[in-house]
Structure 1
Amino acid sequence: MTRGQRRPLWVTSAGLAAVAVLLVAAASFASATEPEIIQLPSGTWSMSTVDTSDKNAGMANDAENEERGYLHYMATAVNKGLHLAQAAASIRDVNETAAAAIQSAAALPADQQASAAQADVYTSNMGQYLKYHGGKMMTEPNELKVYVLWYGRWTKKQKRIIRRFLVSLDRSKNNYQKFPTVVGWWAINVRYYTNGQNQRTTPYVKLSKEINAKYKLAPLGTVLNPLTHDNVRALLASAFDKKQKNYFPMDPNAAYLVLTSQDVYVTDFCKGLCAYHTSATFNGTKLAYAFVGNPAKQCPQYCTYRYFDPTFSGVNGDLGADSVVDKIGHELSELVTNPFHGRNDKAGWVVAKSQIENADLCEWRYGPTNYEEGGKVWNVKGFNGTKFLVQMNFNVRKRECALQGDGTVQAGILPSP
């Protein structure tokens, strides 16, 4: 979801018992009727309904929303191959009802595992309401060009790790890798998500251009730290300034990534979100973009795999960069299937009456993982055999989480739909 992943909050034995009851109740509820998940005010934990070109839109963190007590959780957990999926949404209001909130922990006691299995049923039932609503998608034959704005102090190693992941999405450079692959993971978007013209999500992804901001793109040359969500948008807007030697073109079929280093503080980052995607209008052109922050310093136990495994160090030796890769994958999967879901736009693929998107249904689930000495965990390979850890995505046909698209051969070549 565009509000990013949210860490489970309870850890008590009473909480475990409560979750067991809620899991069963939620599974029964979801199988009986479509969940009445009330639309959140724009931006409360999610940016998916926010058109930031609207002066009244933005991340709503105001007293009114706090008073209304809206909550929106999609908490899931998995620990070392044990699928403990809890997919839930909760919204609380005086005269409104919604699906029960389910909090989760990294691992449940043995006597709770049966209840955890019922959460998979809930995920599947929730998934049946993930539908296409007529909005824009990033589809073939267009190429999804990815533009990266590095803000703050990023090391060469960190950039190299993230850059290699984005290059790994380019199947023209990765059709020789052994299964499971980053290309095969992206195939989930390609094979199962189409628009009203039966055009599938584009399989063509290319890292097109990067800008190293290093605080210099901030308005009036000032260092912005902390950043608000309006600041994030303003930073991206400044990257389109043609007066600069290095600038981004404005492409409505592209994805723009604003990545902040570990020393940059952003509103709600590490508190309510790890990443988000949204859209905004820049000089008359509507564009889709995502924000992802480096959590290594501010919340390594919140927005990284370290929550499940305290020894996790990042498969490529950088906790922050490896975690940013994970979040980029999540947000890009949602951005291509639901890029412009704002106040004045039709949605792409989303659960009706909610802000749940494809990747949300598999949030914090990693599937089969490989463990190496030194806390290195990975589940896919990319460019030149580079290893990465990415969350699974939702196979809307089978209504289940998957790490690779059906029919993806070992060479990593995408089959025809």
Structure 2
Amino acid sequence: MYSLVFKLFLVLSLFQICVSGRKLAEEEEGNQFQLLKYHKGALLSGKISVNIIWYGKFKPSQRAIISDFITSLSSHSKSTPLNQPSVATWWKTTEKYYKLAGADKNPSSSSLSLTLGKHILDENCSLGKSLTDREIRKLASKGDQHDAVNVVLTSADVAVQGFGMSRCGTHGYAPGLGKRGTKFAYIWVGNSETQCPGQCAWPFHAPVYGPQSPVLVAPNNDVGIDGMVINLASLLAGTATNPFGNGYYQGPQTAPLEAASACPGVYGKGAYPGYAGNLLVDTTTGGSFNAYGANGRKFLLPALYDPTKSACSTMV
């Protein structure tokens, strides 16, 4: 299981690691993938459905924000202004990992296409409102276990082991049903609005520790859900490029730096610890964002590590 640790707690040290990694990559000619090492394992590939298990009560408007984000990954919305950054172009950075892994030589594993799958509602919290990792896996198993990533989203009143203390979400894998040796990938992200927004909803909430800067307005006017989008985006990138613990990562296998977590706290150009970077601002709502999505949505997404440039890639 690979947790999305608090960016704010580690941003100073991890930012330095990212910078140091880029310098090393530039100095070592011919090795453009210095920061994240490929461990020769499978990447997530093919046509994959993203199934969402909604645990606890979510408003229809909140479910729509998350659904639109997932839908935006695979298509450039007609409502997106020309030559403007989109969720789909943000996601294309992950394709570079596949090419470096040599997956393009195998047509069956050369690409990944994500589509919004099933919605499973558990509004009455069948397992209670205090969950362990084992129970998260149990909830994740309710989704399809073939050609799927099952995403468990917990509402603001649900406590999860380690949430608000050491992580904002996590991704992992579990044994699947049917043929022996099968496994499926899953993700968990919690709504931090009332429990730990200072750890998991920055830059839409003041951080508990570290440099203090003006709080940004959430692009969809929902601090908890917009924070979940950031964490879900980061974990989806980690799941695609390191689904079973032997793909692209750096550091210990149990707490790896991955495609997004290798660029902590970076959202736009000029970012530094405590400052998310230069972002777009909605002139009507004042919301800060860096990507357009489906149905006129605007999202703030984390920078992804670009293996071909040995640098954190931002769209704005």
Q: What interval of TM-score do these two structures reach, taking the shorter chain for normalisation?
A: 0.7 to 0.9
Deviation at 1:389, TM superposition (A): 0.3
Change (3 A) 1:310 1:227: farther
1:181 to 81, 86, 98: 86
Contact 1:182 1:381 (C-alpha < 8 Å) held by counterparts: yes
SS in 2 for 1:361: coil
Would you say 1:397 and 2:308 are equivalent positions? yes
Question: Within 5 A, what are the aligned runs for 1:171-210?
Answer: 171=75, 177-178=81-82, 179-194=84-99, 195-198=101-104, 202-210=111-119
Partner amino acid, structure 2, of 1:370:
L
1:167 to 49, 52, 71: 71
Structure 1 unpaired stretches of 5+: 10-74, 78-83, 89-118, 219-223, 240-247, 342-346, 406-417
Contact 1:177 1:382 (C-alpha < 8 Å) held by counterparts: no
- Hey, what does 1:260 align to over in structure 2? 154
Q: Which has the larger radius of gyration?
A: 1
Deviation at 1:120, TM superposition (A): 2.6
- Hey, what does 1:376 align to over in structure 2? 287
SS in 2 for 1:259: strand
* Partner deviation per Cα, 1:168-190 (whole Å, 9 max, x = no partner): 11227569653211000000001
Deviation at 1:327, TM superposition (A): 0.7
Contact 2:169 2:189 (C-alpha < 8 Å) held by counterparts: yes
Question: Within 5 A, what are the aligned runs for 1:336-351?
Answer: 336-341=240-245, 347-351=246-250
SS in 2 for 1:359: coil
1:128 to 20, 34, 37: 34
- Hey, what does 1:4 align to over in structure 2? 4
Partner amino acid, structure 1, of 2:19:
D
Would you say 1:249 and 2:144 are equivalent positions? yes
Change (3 A) 1:151 1:290: same
| Matches of 1:293 and 1:154, distance apart in 2 | 12
Partner amino acid, structure 1, of 2:232:
I
| Matches of 1:209 and 1:303, distance apart in 2 | 26
SS in 1 for 2:199: coil
- Hey, what does 2:187 align to over in structure 1? 290
Q: How much is the aligned-residue C-alpha RMSD, in angstroms? A: 2.7
Deviation at 1:319, TM superposition (A): 0.6
| Matches of 1:5 and 1:254, distance apart in 2 | 24
| Matches of 2:62 and 2:213, distance apart in 1 | 21
| Matches of 2:260 and 2:282, distance apart in 1 | 26
| Matches of 2:134 and 2:6, distance apart in 1 | 21
Change (3 A) 1:138 1:123: same
Partner amino acid, structure 2, of 1:190:
E
2:237 to 333, 344, 356: 333
Question: Within 5 A, what are the aligned runs for 1:32-71?
Answer: none
SS in 1 for 2:262: helix
Contact 2:80 2:86 (C-alpha < 8 Å) held by counterparts: no
| Matches of 1:400 and 1:303, distance apart in 2 | 24
SS in 2 for 1:360: coil
The farther-off stretch of 280-289 and 386-395 is 280-289
Deviation at 1:384, TM superposition (A): 2.9
Change (3 A) 1:236 1:378: same
Deviation at 1:361, TM superposition (A): 1.2
* Partner deviation per Cα, 1:4-61 (whole Å, 9 max, x = no partner): 131444xxxxxxxxxxxxxxxxxxxxxxxxxxxxxxxxxxxxxxxxxxxxxxxxxxxx
Would you say 1:215 and 2:92 are equivalent positions? no
* Partner deviation per Cα, 1:117-172 (whole Å, 9 max, x = no partner): xx634455376141222211112xx1121000000111111111111111111227
Deviation at 1:196, TM superposition (A): 4.1
Partner amino acid, structure 2, of 1:187:
K
Change (3 A) 1:85 1:348: closer
Change (3 A) 1:317 1:217: same
Deviation at 1:352, TM superposition (A): 5.8
| TM-score, normalised relative to structure 1 | 0.62
Q: Which has the higher strand share?
A: 2
Structure 2 unpaired stretches of 5+: 26-32, 269-277
1:388 to 288, 299, 303: 299
- Hey, what does 1:275 align to over in structure 2? 169
Contact 1:124 1:400 (C-alpha < 8 Å) held by counterparts: no
Contact 1:171 1:204 (C-alpha < 8 Å) held by counterparts: no
| Matches of 1:380 and 1:389, distance apart in 2 | 6
Change (3 A) 1:124 1:279: farther
SS in 2 for 1:398: coil
- Hey, what does 2:274 align to over in structure 1? none
| Matches of 1:172 and 1:404, distance apart in 2 | 15
Contact 2:237 2:259 (C-alpha < 8 Å) held by counterparts: yes
Contact 2:7 2:264 (C-alpha < 8 Å) held by counterparts: no
| Matches of 1:294 and 1:201, distance apart in 2 | 34
| Matches of 1:137 and 1:4, distance apart in 2 | 19
| Matches of 2:129 and 2:8, distance apart in 1 | 27
1:361 to 247, 252, 262: 262
Identical aligned pairs, as a percentage?
29
Change (3 A) 1:7 1:130: closer
| Matches of 2:50 and 2:237, distance apart in 1 | 13
Partner amino acid, structure 2, of 1:258:
V
| Matches of 1:145 and 1:121, distance apart in 2 | 37
Partner amino acid, structure 2, of 1:186:
W
SS in 2 for 1:204: strand
